Chains A and B, each alone.
Chain A
Amino acid sequence: MDAEKYIRHLKGLRDYKNQIVHIQEIPARDAAYGELDKPLLPGIQGYLERRGIRLYSHQAETINKVRQGKNVIIVTPTASGKTLSFNLPVFESLCSDQAATALYLYPTKALTNDQLKVLRELEKETAIEAFSNIYDGDTPSCQRSNIRDHSRIILSNPYGLHQYLAWHYKWRRFLQNLKFIVVDEAHVYRGVFGSNVAMLLRRLLRICEFYGAKPHLIISSATIANPVEHAQRLTGKEVEVVSNDGAARGKKYFVFWNPPFTDEVKAIRRSTHQETKDLFAISISEDLQTLCFTISRQMAELLVRWTREDLKRKRALPGKAECVTAYRAGYLPEERRDIENRFRAQKLIGIASTNALELGIDIGSLDSVIISGYPGTVISTWQQAGRAGRTSADSIVTLVAFQNPLDQYFMKHPGEFFERPHELAIIDLHNKYISLGHIMCAASELPITDEDHKYFPAVLTESLNALEKEKLVHKTKSGWVYCGIARTADIVNLNNISNKVVTVICEGRVLETLELTKAYEEAHKGAVLLHQGRNIHCGGLEP
């Protein structure tokens, strides 16, 4: 597309009231390719050749480092081919060692499903059998032992891992042969959740050591200010960074859009949501494939409804109205898959989404991204902006401001935003509320001995003493042993959010699922729940 022409078009519209306060041009860049220290195995090389893939510099660097046995964190933007750069060395290792296994951890189930497809395809293309499988709360119990006993690549999430560690004796084969732990989207693991995951990974590594395995860590993350520090805190290991993004990209226009005053005296601006809706509808009517990020689930739904109406009535494009849909957490997997596929196939032109699409779900690259309101962090803003960008064409990102002081500040001082470094990803290893719980979990997984100071430094002895006072651990010849009567994983939460899930049933059919806390807000008795632009009147919550 021609972005400049599109921007001229916007400015020429009857309703245009100088909303564009800044345009930042991010220049196009050619691809930088890299060289491998030694060639890939023929099966894998053949796959790359059939696909016409030449490795970018960051991909080659990652593969070189992983082959040297280093732990790596890759920080390059969305859609730069991070996944390939860690899948290749993993597959190479799985091919040369027929027993080798790898564990992939993703923060959400949706991502896990997406990646399973990629891995299975790679298995087929390279003829390397890994029997890749997902093992999480949705895995039917009849398949579980088969997966534990036979899969060489298992995909899961931290919540699942937290539960499964206590059953490690059933995972003996998998753990004994574990060569890689892949932690994708690691920037999500920051704050309280991140500190919990850091402890969880230490528990995992401790059990690996028990079974004699020394897995390498491959971590991938969105751009953050402190990748090496973050990775080291998360895993407790020496980690090297790869950040020289070599992927080609087209020119990108980053537009700051401030809604116009409706009352200049009182300094009241037009609704951000209405401005977003207009922009979304214009973008769609100009045939730009557009993703619009909203701040809430409800807003994603409302925006779709308004945009459909706008396209039908105001712009007389009823056909296009059918090509707009909402996407958010809570939709059933099949529904999400369907939306992703139709979007990739360009049958859908517009999606309004919550930050559910901020992570690496593959929906292809787009002409236009609209960010309705500053998402709160530079990391998220660039992640969302990264969804726009074709390799050979222009793309456009529009940030629509809210009336709040922070959004308005960036509108007045756009330079501030572009010069701002990405935030630090913070993990606190000293939070006693977090570490104590995990030390208790660890004691229920294997007796804790002096050796374990390397996993839980600083607070181990004091923590064990405190737990002993409450008769939760007991000192034995073998080490400290958990002696409480509750399941440790049940009383220690990874993010202090209840993991109870509520199912919404409409006309006898499962419509969607919600976390309990969200259900209290959005699906209580009398609430109106929005689903794909439809109003669902909630009858009430039943146990």
Chain B
Amino acid sequence: MVDVSDQSPCATLPENLPRKRDLDHVAANLRRRSEGTKEFQVLPETSDLKVNTGISQDGWIWGCELDDAMRLKTDLMLKFEGKTLLEAISGKVTSNEHGECYCVRQCHRLAFNRASAIESRRVLLLNLKLLPGIGPSRERNLRKQGYRTIEDLTRHIKWRKPAFEFLRLVDSEDVAALQARLRQNLPKSHALSHYLAGFCRDKDLVIIDIETLGLFGRPIILVGLAKGSRRGICTMQFLARDVSEEAAAIWELARRLDSESAFVSFNGRCFDVPLIVERMTYYGLSSKNITANPHFDMLHFVRRALRDKLISFRLESIEEYLGISRNINVPGALVPEFYDSYQRSGNVGPLVAIVEHNKQDLATLAQLFCSLYLEWDR
């Protein structure tokens, strides 16, 4: 680059280096402007949600939710005035090669009952249409002839070859390949894609939900993940106590992933995973290609399974349907504002709500992941 800074802007303008005070003034202006832009709409309670179906699930909140949340923030800040993070949220500092962050672990006694590999295999093979060239009418005919499963088709003179090929793919239990294969014939929200999770081992299923300062191009402030097993689910949350801990928090997730890992998320295909990739690029963290991992995005499945039963597809509405209640809640759209209050005041109160919100999201996600199988069976 040529340094042109020492030239005056032009012959007629005097050299005009800004004074420090002026810069402060401009920065304050930017801050004000940033407070004026919101990425969500506040809807009055009278709005008809049917009209607003185009809005993403985090794109709006009710007016009363906004009021409640602001009251909650004030209450929490009063309650935790002068308290340390440890006093407010029990957890411990964890460190890795990219720095430190704050880790909150908790185990929940929730049944993590999901389809087994045997059941998944059975459901999958019942669908003859998964073979290229078989449509609904051909499937009906084959059924009439007594071919009920793809396994039966291995005895069919014409379909034996593709049937064997498909069986081999199923028995490989390569979930990423199976997901890609299913997508050729079925919409990504199809129940069978959810059933593929039966082939995943508990330890490979990673339930993820991140909290951020905005939709894109802004930091991740909390990386939440959960693992389920017969005994229940355990949540691990990595909180950035300030933005300098973001890289370490992301790394805590990244280092737990390998090519077998399968994500369970809510809108994670479009949001959580791309944003994690974006931030890993931003910090120059080794970028494993996590976009290719198997991914069970519950938003897609919920939309299909419960489309007539829910008024919106926000996690809160789904909880209502599942009969889950929250004790403290901050709507996801307000998380940035809560964190910003913490950032500016140093008061840890708002963090309590964020961590609790994320923990609840993870738990709901785990339950949804299991209970949606019941919906498919209906």
Contacts and interface: CB of A to CB of B under 8 A. Distances in A.
Interface of A: 166-169, 172, 205, 229, 232-233, 236-238, 424, 426-430, 432-433, 436-437, 440, 444-447, 454-455, 457-459, 462-463, 465-467, 469-472, 474-478, 481-492
A203 B97 CA distance: 29
B87 interface: no
Contact of A466 (B5, B24, B218, B340): B24
B157 interface: no
A166 B216 CA distance: 8
The 3 closest A-B CB pairs, nearest first, are A486-B34, A476-B244, A432-B18
A447 B242 CA distance: 15
B374 interface: no
B48 interface: no
A483 B24 contact: no
Nearest to B287: A169
A487 B37 contact: yes
Interface stretch (B103-111, B146-154, B277-285, B292-300): B277-285
B176 interface: no
B217 A481 contact: no
Nearest to B248: A477
Nearest to A463: B23
Contacts of A169: 277-278, 281-282
Given A236-B2, A462-B23, A487 B215 contact: yes
Contacts of B144: none
Contact of A487 (B11, B35, B218): B218
A441 B24 CA distance: 17
A491 B33 contact: yes
A434 to B, nearest CB: 9
Given A471-B343, A474-B242, 18 more contacts: A169-B278, A236-B4, A429-B4, A430-B5, A430-B16, A432-B22, A445-B217, A455-B1, A462-B20, A466-B24, A466-B26, A474-B243, A476-B247, A482-B217, A484-B34, A485-B214, A485-B218, A486-B35
Contacts of B5: 429-430, 457-458
Contact of B24 (A469, A471, A481): A469
B70 to A, nearest CB: 15
8 contacts: A167-B278, A428-B13, A474-B244, A484-B31, A484-B34, A485-B214, A485-B336, A485-B340
B247 A484 contact: no
Interface string B1-22: 1111101011101011110101
A404 to B, nearest CB: 23
* Interface-central residue, B16, B18, B35, by most chain A CB under 10 Å: B18
A205 B217 CA distance: 18
A426 B98 CA distance: 44
B33 to A, nearest CB: 4
A75 B150 CA distance: 70
Interface string B336-366: 1101100110000000000000000000000
Interface string B54-94: 00000000000000000000000000000000000000000
A168 B282 CA distance: 9
B218 A484 contact: yes
A445 B15 CA distance: 30
B97 to A, nearest CB: 11
A430 B27 contact: no
B214 to A, nearest CB: 6
A471 B214 contact: no
A426 B1 contact: no
A437 B28 CA distance: 11
Nearest to A233: B4
A491 B26 CA distance: 12
Nearest to A205: B1
Contacts of B209: none
Contacts of B228: none
B135 interface: no
Contacts, number: 160
Contact of B18 (A229, A430, A470): A430
Given A169-B278, A169-B281, A477 B244 contact: yes
A191 to B, nearest CB: 11
Contacts of B13: 426, 428
Contacts of A492: 30
Contacts of A229: 7
B217 A472 contact: no
Nearest to A441: B217
B96 to A, nearest CB: 12
A458 B2 CA distance: 13
Nearest to B337: A485
A470 B30 contact: yes
B17 A430 contact: yes
B23 A446 contact: no
B239 to A, nearest CB: 15
B362 to A, nearest CB: 23
Contacts of B28: 470
A488 B217 contact: yes
B257 interface: no
Contact of B26 (A236, A426, A436, A484): A436
Contact of B243 (A168, A440, A476): A476
A429 B216 contact: no
B272 interface: no
Contact of A483 (B213, B216, B277): B213
A470 B242 contact: no
Interface in B99-152: 99
B219 A481 contact: yes
B278 A491 contact: no
A236 B1 contact: yes
Contacts of B215: 487
A72 B275 CA distance: 38
A168 B280 CA distance: 12
B33 A466 contact: no
Contact of A166 (B98, B217, B339): B217
Contact of B3 (A427, A457, A487): A457
B37 A486 contact: yes
A482 B218 contact: yes
Interface in B244-285: 244, 246-247, 277-278, 281-284
A490 B28 CA distance: 16
B217 A478 contact: no
Contacts of B30: 436-437, 440, 467, 470, 472, 491-492
A491 B243 contact: no
